[in-house]
Each structure stands twice: as structure tokens, then as C-alpha cells.
Amino acid sequence: MGRTSSISKHPKRKEIDKALVLPGASIRGIARTYRVSEDALSRYVKGGNIEQKVKQAQQAQDIVEADDLLKEIQEIQEHQKTIFKEARDRVIETEEGRIKKPDNKLALEALRDQSKIIELKGKVLGSFVKDTTKTPGASPGAAIVTPLPPEAARKIGDIIAGNI
């Protein structure tokens, strides 16, 4: 049966964890600051606790950054849709009165930009990643689909659906 380390039970364990992941952190300095043994702290770090927490924190940060970026992309996309609609529904004043005269050039530009936004969304969502492996029979630089972690996929789905 595994033994719980003195660091795991320490009342300031969260502070110790934060200190351990700071750039330039030293076991000796942290042990001195929190009055724990260097050996116990070394065992705690080598036990994988910190590496797993750093990895989890990085994944969470990546999700937050993707959320923020997706929100910005969606705002741009909404503006783009408005521009397209206004270009298609343009009305001008003539001597005969008001007539509908779409600005097809602007509408086409808006559609081109819309396709770029969709491509950008795909990249942000992690849908397309360059295949850097040498898979026999695969064309160089072929795109492969990579799955998102379930939590990220749900969050991104909520954003796209407008639930957030």
C-alpha cells in the first residue's frame, strides 16, 4: 500500500505546488521556505504529482485560450455575415425612387473572407494538424484529423452553438 507523503498532507501544499512550477524554482529554496525536508520534497516531485498538475494546468490554459480565440473569431464572423447581408440587400436612391441594387463585389469579398474564417476556426479547433510522420502511401504534408479532449469539445460546441 502506498504511503502519503508529508508534502501531500502539508497545510500549504498548494502554495508549495505553485512554487515548484515557477521558473528557476529550487528544491532547496522551497524546502527552506516551507520548512520541509529536501528529501521529502524531492520524492514528492519525483512521484509525478507536479508533472501531472503542470500538464493538467497547461491543458486547462490551452482550453481557455482556444475559447477566447474562438469568441473573437465568432465576433468577426458575425460582422462578416452582417456585411454580406447588407451588400446583398443594398438599396439605392434613383430618380425613379428606391431600388434594390446588391453590391455583388462586396458580397463576394465577404464570402471569400467567410471561407477564411471557417478555415481559421478549423485550425483553432485543432481539427487539422500537419502530419509530420512518414506514413507509407500518405502524401507529404497531408492533413490528419485529431480528436479534441471531451471537455474541450463540449466547451467549443457550446461556444459555437451560442450557449456561452
Are 103 and 127 within one domain? yes
Lowest mean pLDDT among 12-16, 21-25, 26-30, 67-71: 21-25
Are 9 and 90 within one domain? no
* pLDDT score, position 9: 84
Whether 38 is covered by a domain: the verdict is yes
Owning domain of residue 72: 62-161
Lowest mean pLDDT among 11-20, 26-35, 53-62, 132-141: 132-141
Count the neighbouring beta carbons within 10 Å of the beta carbon of residue 25: 13
Whether 31 is covered by a domain: the verdict is yes
Are 84 and 127 within one domain? yes
Q: Which pTM does this prediction carry?
A: 0.44
Q: Which three cell numbers stand for residue 34?
A: 516551507
**Amino acid at the residue 50:** I
Write the CB contacts of 158 (distance below 8 Å, at least 6 apart in sequence).
Answer: 164
* pLDDT score, position 143: 42
pLDDT (tens digit per residue) in 108-145: 888 888 888 888 877 777 654 444 455 555 555 444 44
Q: What are phi and psi of 36, to 5 degrees?
A: -125, 165
Are 81 and 136 within one domain? yes
Lowest mean pLDDT among 99-103, 118-122, 153-157: 153-157
- Supply the DSSP string of 66-122, one letter for each residue: HHHHHHHHHHHHHHHHHHHHHHHT-EEEETTEEEE---HHHHHHHHHHHHHHHHHHH
Residue 16's H or E segment, with its range, is: helix 13-21
Per-residue DSSP letter, 5: P
Are 145 and 104 within one domain? yes
Q: Which three cell numbers stand for residue 147?
A: 480528436
Are 73 and 137 within one domain? yes
Whether 54 is covered by a domain: the verdict is no
Number of domains comprising the chain: 2
Whether 86 is covered by a domain: the verdict is yes
Output 145 or 66, whichever has higher pLDDT.
66
* pLDDT score, position 119: 81
Whether 52 is covered by a domain: the verdict is no
Q: Is the dihedral of CA 141, 145, 149, 155 positive or negative?
A: positive
Evaluate if residue 26 carries a pLDDT over 70.
Answer: yes
* pLDDT score, position 110: 87
* pLDDT score, position 128: 43
Whether 12 is covered by a domain: the verdict is yes
Write the CB contacts of 44 (distance below 8 Å, at least 6 apart in sequence).
Answer: 5, 7, 8, 50
Are 75 and 146 within one domain? yes
Distance CA 38, CA 66 (A): 38
- For residues 17 and 50, the answer to whether their CB atoms sit within 8 Å is yes
User: In the predicted model, what is the mean pLDDT of residues 138-162?
Assistant: 54
Average pLDDT of every residue of the chain: 76
